[in-house]
Structures are given as structure tokens and as C-alpha cells.
């Protein structure tokens, strides 16, 4: 995993944890404590510690027992924190020694203060919104059943499967980078669907917005319905440009 994560975006880094339940078949081993299985009210649990970059891709991973504090592996996972980087974390990491650790390395910790903190600190709620990427990362890797629930008795085996799930996310990025010139078309900019005289053009954004544009076959109807000519011209040019891009990429692929 260190090899595939070598080109990560170090300008922004985020750290967080997630608890997973240990299956009863994985708990049948002596010295559960030594295999990072912690006792809690819900049974045996383990905690995944992860550091992701500004794109939500994993950089460092760690594993502890479920009852351990979130900042247990902070100094280990962020030992290579670069200078001038921005660290995003939740209130569980609001400690003076953590802020001093980040400051000594020339970085800035954007961590919301706890309610019992008396000294004012510098915190930006606007920049903190990007921390949703690490929550989405946990959602992605927990689509794998063997990561969402721990069935392995040995901590090394379970952590290996977590790294495999992380490598899978990195391989997607490398595959898309190799085909970057086709990315705009692959995301769906050239997907048309005729529906009652209209052409739906999908923009391919994360939230899957779409624009409803009148088809070029119904330009007369568009003018009769009172559509401004400027919109008719804009729609025609946009459809022609997308068609040209789609044909160019198709020819290049078949070449």
C-alpha cells in the first residue's frame, strides 16, 4: 500500500477512526487483547485508524482495540506529516500535545475546540467541511463484508484485508488517470436520451445533475413555444460540441 500511496496529495490530510464488530468465530483465540480486540458493551470490537489525503484516499492505516482512544496512534500515523500541510480532525483530537505536535512540523491543525477549552484557538468551519471525505472513505471500504465485520482471529490478517480494500480504491484512481483524456466522455457528458422531443444531457457531476435541452429536431417548436433564440443557439452548439467530442474519442479508441 505504501507504494501505491506514494503520490498522495500531502497538502491536506485527515485522520479519523471507525469501530468494527468482531464476529464470534474470530474471537475464539487466547489473548484477544494482543490481537487488538477490545471489550465493550456491544461485545468485542476493533478500531481502524486511518489518514487520508485531500482526495479521500488512504495514506496510513493502523489497528487498535475498540475501547482505545482515537488519538492512540496519532504520532505514529502522522510521523511524516509535511510542513505547510493542513490537518483536519474531529474534537476527539483536540489536545494540546496534538496541536504542538502538528505545529512543530510546520503544519496547521484545523480541529474544532471542545466545550471545556478555555483558550481561544484558530478554527475554520468552512475548511472543516472537507472532512466528509474521510467519512465517505470508511463507507467505501465497509462495502466489503470482510472489512465491515472482523472474522479474522489475527490482527495482521484483518489489517491486510483492510489494506487490500484501500489498494482497490487507489487502483481506480490510477486507471482513471491513465485514461484522463477519455474521462470527460466516460463520466457521461455524451449520454443522450430522447424523451418526448427532449434531449437529456448528463453532466457527470458527483450529485448526478442533468440539464434538459430541447432537441435540434424541434427548433421550430422551440421558437413557437417562446423559447428565446439565444437559448436555441446555445443548445444547438452544446449538442454539436458533445457529439463531436464523442465521435473523436470513439475513433481514437478504435484506432
Of 115, 150, 178, at which residue does a domain stop? Answer: 178
Supply the pLDDT for residue 203.
Answer: 38
Same domain, 116 and 37: yes
Q: Which grid cell sits at 127?
A: 475548511
Same domain, 171 and 246: no
- Total domain count, the chain: 2
pLDDT tens per residue, the chain (255 residues)?
A: 777 677 777 788 999 999 999 988 887 666 666 788 888 777 889 999 999 998 899 999 999 998 899 999 999 999 988 888 899 999 999 999 999 999 999 888 999 998 888 888 888 888 898 899 999 999 999 999 999 999 988 889 999 999 999 988 888 877 655 444 444 444 443 343 333 343 434 333 333 333 334 444 455 555 555 555 655 566 566 666 656 665 666 666 565
**H/E run at residue 58:** strand 58-65
Q: Give the closest residue to 205 by CA, choosing from 191, 224, 221.
A: 191
Q: Which grid cell sits at 122?
A: 484558530
Supply the pLDDT for residue 189.
Answer: 39
Of 138, 153, 178, at which residue does a domain stop? Answer: 178
Instruction: Give the three-class secondary structure for 51.
Output: strand
Angstrom distances, CA of residue 193 to CA of 77, 212, 218, 230, 233:
48, 10, 15, 23, 20
Same domain, 58 and 94: yes
**Proportion of the chain in helix, strand, coil states, percent, rounded to 5:** 45, 20, 35
**167/109 Cα distance (integer angstroms):** 27
Same domain, 227 and 172: no
Domain extent, residue 124, equals 12-178
Of 178, 202, 236, at which residue does a domain stop? Answer: 178
Q: Which grid cell sits at 172?
A: 481506480
Edge to edge, what strands does the sheet with 194-195 contain? 194-195, 198-202, 210-214
Q: Is residue 2 a part of any domain in this protein?
A: no
- Cβ-defined contacts of 238-246 (< 8 Å, 24+): 238/201, 238/213, 239/199, 239/201, 239/213, 239/215, 242/189, 242/190, 242/201, 243/190, 245/184, 245/185, 245/189, 245/190, 246/185, 246/190
Amino acid at each position: 500500500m505504501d507504494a501505491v500511496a506514494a503520490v498522495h496529495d500531502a497538502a491536506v490530510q485527515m485522520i479519523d477512526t471507525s469501530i468494527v464488530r468482531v464476529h464470534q468465530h474470530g474471537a475464539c483465540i487466547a489473548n484477544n487483547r494482543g490481537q487488538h480486540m477490545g471489550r465493550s458493551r456491544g461485545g468485542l470490537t476493533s478500531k481502524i485508524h486511518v489518514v487520508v489525503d485531500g482526495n479521500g484516499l488512504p495514506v496510513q492505516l493502523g489497528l487498535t482495540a475498540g475501547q482505545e482512544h482515537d488519538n492512540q496512534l496519532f504520532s505514529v500515523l502522522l510521523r511524516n506529516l509535511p510542513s505547510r500541510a493542513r490537518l483536519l480532525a474531529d474534537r476527539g483530537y483536540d489536545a494540546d500535545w496534538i496541536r504542538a505536535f502538528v505545529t512543530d512540523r510546520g503544519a496547521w491543525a484545523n480541529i474544532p475546540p471542545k466545550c471545556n477549552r478555555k483558550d481561544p484557538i484558530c478554527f475554520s468551519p468552512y475548511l472543516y467541511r472537507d472532512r466528509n471525505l474521510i467519512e465517505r472513505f470508511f463507507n467505501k471500504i465497509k462495502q466489503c463484508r470482510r472489512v465491515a465485520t472482523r472474522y479474522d482471529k489475527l490482527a495482521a490478517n484483518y489489517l491486510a484485508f483492510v489494506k487490500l480494500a484501500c489498494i482497490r480504491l487507489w487502483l481506480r484512481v490510477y486507471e482513471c488517470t491513465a485514461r484522463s483524456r477519455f474521462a470527460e466522455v466516460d463520466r457521461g457528458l455524451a449520454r443522450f436520451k430522447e424523451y418526448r422531443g427532449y434531449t437529456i444531457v448528463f453532466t457527470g457531476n458527483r450529485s448526478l445533475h442533468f440539464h434538459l435541452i430541447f432537441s435540434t429536431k424541434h427548433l421550430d417548436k422551440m421558437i413557437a413555444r417562446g423559447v428565446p433564440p439565444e437559448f436555441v443557439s446555445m443548445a444547438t452548439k452544446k449538442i454539436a460540441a458533445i457529439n463531436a467530442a464523442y465521435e473523436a474519442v470513439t475513433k481514437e479508441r478504435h484506432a
